A = this chain, B = another copy of it.
Amino acid sequence: MEKHADTLRNHGIKPSLTRMLILSYLTEEGSHPTVEEIYKALIGTIPTLSKTTVYNTLHLFTQKKLARAVMLKDQETRYDLAAHPHAHFQCLECNTVYDTSAFPQLSAPEEFLKHTVEDVSILFTGLCQSCREKSSHIEQ
């Protein structure tokens, strides 16, 4: 837990219990959770937790570059730790999101060099293995 406090301090964030638990969830639980998921996971531990606090905290983390908003073909925004950049693959059939461990090598196009590029996000979409197998079954 002290590890999380340090991480927060290192990013210029005062380590409250709520913040440590949200960071802990981002670190230890499954990737790219939504605000709703985080809220539901922590309301048992922090009975007074408000969803607004989860929103506030994730905005703060994102601003301080501790977390990153992952944009998917989805309604809800999802969050990842900024320390582990990875590309995503999202199945358009079942909406499951898969991660890469490695981040594809990619440099910014020349046209963007005049801007200050701080981050890149890469999203592959298509049909996942499991959905492809299911649909080929049906068609036969």
- Name A's B-contacting residues (CB within 8 A): 69, 71-73, 87, 89, 91-92, 98, 100-102, 104, 106-109, 111-112, 114-129, 132
Copies per complex? 2
A125 CA to B120 CA, complexed, in Å: 6
A128 CA to B111 CA, complexed, in Å: 11
Give the Cβ gap from A71 to chain B, nearest Cβ, in Å: 4
Pairwise interchain contact B101-A104, C-beta atoms closer than 8 A: no
Chain B residues with CB below 8 A from A122, complex form: 106, 120-123
The verdict on A116 contacting B132 (CB below 8 Å), with A73-B71, A121-B123, A122-B121 known, is yes
Pairwise interchain contact A119-B124, C-beta atoms closer than 8 A: yes
Give the Cβ gap from A65 to chain B, nearest Cβ, in Å: 11
A-B contact pairs, 22 of them (CB 8 A): A71-B73, A71-B123, A87-B109, A87-B112, A89-B108, A89-B112, A89-B115, A92-B118, A98-B112, A98-B115, A100-B109, A102-B109, A108-B124, A115-B126, A115-B128, A115-B129, A115-B132, A116-B126, A117-B124, A118-B127, A119-B125, A120-B125
